[in-house]
Structure 1
Amino acid sequence: MSGPVLARRGFLSGAAGLAVALTLAACGDGGAGTADPAGGASPAARSWTFTDDRGKKLEQPKVPGRIVAQVGSAAALWDFGVRPIAVFGPHKLKDGSKDPQVGNVDITKVTGLGNVWDEFNVEQYIGLQPDLLVSSMYVKDTLWYVPEKSKETIEQVAPSVGVMLTGKSATEVIGTYEALAKSLGADMRGVPEAKARMEAATKELAAFGNLKILMVSGGADAFWIVNPPEYPDIVHLKDAGLNVVTPAKVDEGGFFQTLSWENADTYEADVILYDTRTQALKPEEMMKKPTFAKLPAVEAGQLYPWNAEAPYSYQGYAAFLEGLVANLKKAKPLT
């Protein structure tokens, strides 16, 4: 993985360099693109305040307009009507098409600051003159996809909002993004209808409580069993009545249990939901592993996609849950 342009060019070696860069940026024409939190008119000339999940109270004399967001945050905010000017994190596939993690964001209308882990073009970020950076957090006080080596520089450019994921339900996380979007002047177009769809699909999940469900992610040399309490989407599924397997022993950090492919049959399940993110093995690749291929759920064709990073919006979760309900209707108990 290549580092940000800042590191490659030796730019901004310290605070003095940062001050020079900010001065130069302020003399420019406003950088690439504009922000439009309401999807139309500019934000009202009013003061803005928001307290994020770090307990940090942010206050600005006017509503932030030029917003940069990690792709998950960008996808959530976009569905509420906020239009970031730039994104970082997986947003573009090798063929140039959109990565599913970026949701409904129009990637032709935003600047990409980095597409893989540890990649963040700090020089370009400074040039955009952002008012606000938004990212989710799996670990408190650690913004997802903000590189540790560039963190101090990035944090000096603009204030940031952190939205905690671990230990929360999807409805709580969506509520935080909804509150943030409202504070930024979002129009909420389509939100009530999407919320109704999400609630309806959530109610339908209760009918599948008789199915034992295993949620997994596959790698070249490892098979990961996901630990439900650490993921907002799985907390939501369990709260709705689904029987999701909890691994007996989780790795340090608590997010999953790592198994060898030889031990892929450690847990029984009627249904397996597999991670669809680009870094995870596809079903046809996993089925080349003999132990996995012989699992009852796999042999029965009860192997369904799990959108592990569905946008934290009512639109994102309505689509995710409706698809899951449709698949679970095809499944039957096996164990």
Structure 2
Amino acid sequence: MSTNQPWTFRDDRGQEVAAPRPPRRLVAYTQAAAVLRECGVATTAVFGSPHDEHGPGETAPALADVPGVPYLGAGKALTAAALTRAEPELLVSVTYDGERVYGIDSALAAELPTTVPLLALGVGPGTSLTAVRDRFAELARALGAAPDTTADPGAASLARGLERLRAAARAKPRPRVLACSPAGPDRAHLARPQGWPLLRELAGAGVDLLDLPSAPGPSWATADWEELAALEPDIVLRDVRPSATSDAELAAVPGWRRIGDRATVLPWNPELPFTARAIGGFLDTVTDAVTRHAAP
């Protein structure tokens, strides 16, 4: 790829992102940085999720995939000055709705130099895991990564993990699986099976993911704990981000206690990096729980 030619890439907001030459200094949201590194593209610095304002909570797994890369902060702790000091030639993040850039709101973007292009790839409702990984590989190639590093690294191991999950999901009895984010003693957010690429993958493998079809919301459906307990889940994928209500705060909630009495509760990070390592570990955890449920 020529280093003297203008560079363009159409992102998943439908915007043509342009730079005077192929960007080399990338600053990225940790989830995006982890996937790009897997595809052979390094980042100069990273920033976290808006939920990480008080520390790199749920981004810690992604930070493990980009060792030694400076962390600039998140939420209100992420400033235009910090981003500018990193001298980015391209900012990379994700978008859940095809419009907003996750982690860099419009006010922060307005403070950045107009010469810094901003790019976002879709990870929202209706997006498959394969599509997400393919788009990051496409971006990596556009940034100059060698084709052999972007030919879906880890695809073979992920395929084996999914086949193991499919085999486990065929066993009887099939567990009822609930993915949720506790939001206080009175309510929780149920994650829509089609609202998250990784949950779509579980559903496609035969995992029985619970939903509340009549409730509104493309990614989350809000309900009280009694409604969720009435779904009688056997396995709960519980949001472990700092923004989710802690177990200590839920200890006296009857609905949560009933769920915990009957279900296996597994940690789930809705912002898990889309790397083969991170996804593979999550699939193995779910597969083991599904297998134990069917064991005599």
TM-score tier after normalising by the smaller chain length? 0.7 to 0.9
Q: Distance in 2 between matches of 1:190 and 1:168?
A: 19
Rate the CA distance shift 1:246–1:301 in 2: closer, same or farther, 3 A. closer
Shift of 1:158: 0.9
1:331 to 289, 293, 296: 293
CA contact (8 A) 1:177 1:312 kept: no
Q: Is the alpha carbon distance of 1:247 and 1:97 closer, same or farther for their aligned partners in structure 2, counting shifts above 3 Å?
A: closer
- Cα deviation, 1:101-122, whole Å, max 9, x if unaligned, reads 434122x43241x22x344310
For the pair 1:320 / 2:278, whether they are aligned, the reply is no
Report the equivalent of 1:175.
Answer: 134
Q: Which runs of 5+ in 2 are unaligned?
A: none
Offset of residue 214 of structure 1: 0.9
1:234 shift after superposition: 1.0
Task: Specify the SS of the correspondent of 2:292.
Answer: coil
**d(CA) in 1 for partners of 2:246 and 2:37?**
28
CA–CA distance in 1 between the matches of 2:56 and 2:81? 26
**8 Å CA contact retained: 1:87, 1:111:** yes
Matched, 1:233 2:192: no
The one-letter amino acid paired with 1:212 is: R
Q: Give the secondary-structure state (helix, strand or coil) at the position aligned to 1:236.
A: helix
| Corresponding residue pairs, total | 285
TM-score normalised according to structure 2 size: 0.84
2:112 is matched with which residue: 154, 157, 161?
A: 154
Deviations 1:14-41 (A, max 9, x none): xxxxxxxxxxxxxxxxxxxxxxxxxxxx
Q: Cα distance, 1:172 vs. partner?
A: 0.6
Sequence identity of aligned pairs in percent? 25
SS of 1:310 mapped into structure 2? coil
Structure 1 unaligned regions, length at least 5: 1-42
Q: Distance in 2 between matches of 1:281 and 1:142?
A: 26
The DSSP-based 3-state class of the residue aligned with 1:237 is helix
Cα distance 1:143–1:155, how it changes in 2: closer, same or farther (>3 A)? farther
Instruction: Classify 1:128/1:139 alpha carbon distance in 2 versus 1 (closer, same or farther; 3 Å).
Output: same
- CA–CA distance in 2 between the matches of 1:248 and 1:96? 31
1:306 to 249, 262, 268: 268
**Aligned-partner Cα distance in 1 for 2:230–2:262:** 18
Say if 2:11 and 2:121, in contact at 8 Å, map to a contact too: yes
CA contact (8 A) 2:181 2:244 kept: yes
Q: CA deviation at 1:283?
A: 4.6
Instruction: Tell me the residue number matched to 2:24.
Output: 65
Matching residue within 143, 160, 163 for 1:203? 163
Call closer, same or farther: CA 1:323–1:44 in 2, change over 3 Å. farther
TM-score, normalised with respect to structure 1: 0.75
The one-letter code matched in structure 1 to 2:66 is V
TM-superposed CA distance for 1:300, in Å, is 4.0
CA RMSD of aligned residues (A): 2.9
Larger-Rg structure: 1
